[in-house]
A and B are shown apart, each in its own frame.
Chain A
Amino acid sequence: MSPRLRLALARPLDAASLQAFRALFGGLLLISVIRFAAKGWIAALYVDPAYHFPYWGFAWLRPWPGPGMYLHFLALALAALCLALGLRHRLAALACLLLFTHVELLDKAAYLNHYYFVSVVLLLLLAMPLGRASATAPTWALYALRLQVGLVYFFAGLAKLRGDWLLHAQPLKLWLAPHADFPLLGPLFARPGTAHVMSWAGAAFDLGVPFLLLHRRCRPYAFAALLGFHGLTGALFPIGMFPWIMSCAALIFFPPDWPRRLLRALGRPVPADISHVPTDSHAPLGRLALAALALHFGAQLLLPLRHHLYGGDHGWHEQGFRFAWHVMLVEKTGVVTYRVRDPASGRVFIVHPEDALTAQQAKQMAFQPDMILDYAHQLAAEYAARGLPGVEVRADAFVAYNGRPSARLIDPTVDLARERDGLAAKPWILPRPD
């Protein structure tokens, strides 16, 4: 790797915008944790469920018993506060990363793209020298965050370049129509043409906004559009903290000294500007650090594209769908019942998963094939524990997807108890009907 590039990446710059990013991000994380607890979601998502849908490779991870999950979230809140204040920021970022990601990995039913974004940003913050006393930060830190934020938008836009989104305006057509009584814009939402216009505009926005934010003259307009976009989607759809997180994260595209300029404009005391740092007065970025960055962003570039390895419509089969910034892309609802057959006696049991799962889990698992498989394995284990080892488990799973008539998702003849989860393609998922 070119020594000049490594030197350029290590060149110190004003850390003000990075410090502001850390403070805002920590603050939003703290608010998210408080909101999560206030809504009763700690109990609803992690204490009450008797069963959790494990991520592949993380089945060993379990919620803490007793009051453990509440203490876990309390610790997360304290770590987020420390991160916001810049107190032992690396330790705080590490604690936030471990505590937050632990929660995120407990149950697939609670997966959200912006939770994943939080984990990824925490990983980057962990590597950055952003303590309260740091007046400067290396250039790579600024560009790493810009690239990370930009990738979210870009891949979200890339994922929208598909027939459902561009030609059929789905799922926006389904989502906008119920908002006919939205103030001012409601009558417009009831018109199908609006969904088409907003679909195209949304795809163009996602694809273009990172580049426009990088351009000095376009930046104010792009940021205003970004605030409008997130404000509108936040008002229309139940997407929680996502608009706030992305709106604050986009501030990283402004010049590194924007907090100083803002304070000056507000007439508040401003810390002294950093003096000019000669380009040759610092060590180049280490090879190991550069390799770590390359590895991180290599993964960030490949993960959103991995669904191409599976073929078909990844919105339907969901292979390669998570951790890929496929945001607001599908409207799916599902119904699943299981037929559990004891081969020894020939007895067949119908199982409605709603009986044993929370409403959130039942809703999510009904249209996600890997979760349908997980629960088939859980049923096999439960029946074995009841003295019926080796049961066959088949699923009658139906899904309505982006306005199409409902159709079978899973091959009803396949014994899911014998199928293993993993990264390989799942042949028991039926192809999407046209």
Chain B
Amino acid sequence: MSSRSFNHRPTEIEDQAHAEAVRYFAEQLNQFPASRDAVKRLERDIAKISLAILAASRRPLDANPIVTDDGTQWRKGVELFDNVFVCYRQTTTGSEYAVVERFPSGTNEIWNRGRNAVDVLKAFTQDQRQALQIWTEDMTAQLKEFLAEKYPGHDMNRVAESFLHRFTHAETRNHQQNQSRGVRV
């Protein structure tokens, strides 16, 4: 079944506008579902990931610590998304955990940190939900601007509604591949 939500048959110009928007925002239509599904998996697997971090922290240290922007050295525990890791370190007062993102510049940004792995992951997950919300709001604004510039004077509300439904409800393109990724330790 199509994800389009037109109550009545779309007009030719609505069809054209929808197709153009899909082409123009193809990259975001591809990336958003993948990011949303990654956050959903993270929410579902918090306990499993926490156990994996604990197991990782008991293994012998590897030779390549991650150094974050504050100069702290961390050991890589679990990869959550591409270039986003849960890391751990031992301090005089016990273990500390952090979610760290590695940027192409080579720097490592700490997103969340704390003494309890579950709490760190929960806080990170909440932040990711908010980031997805910001993305959705920005997508809505980008789309309205695109349609207003391409089709001035036309009512494109139904096109926008249909497109945004597709944006927020689309299946991940590489669904099976993403399902099989799971937690990487």
A, B: real partners: no
Q: What is B's interface to A at a CB cutoff of 8 Å?
A: none
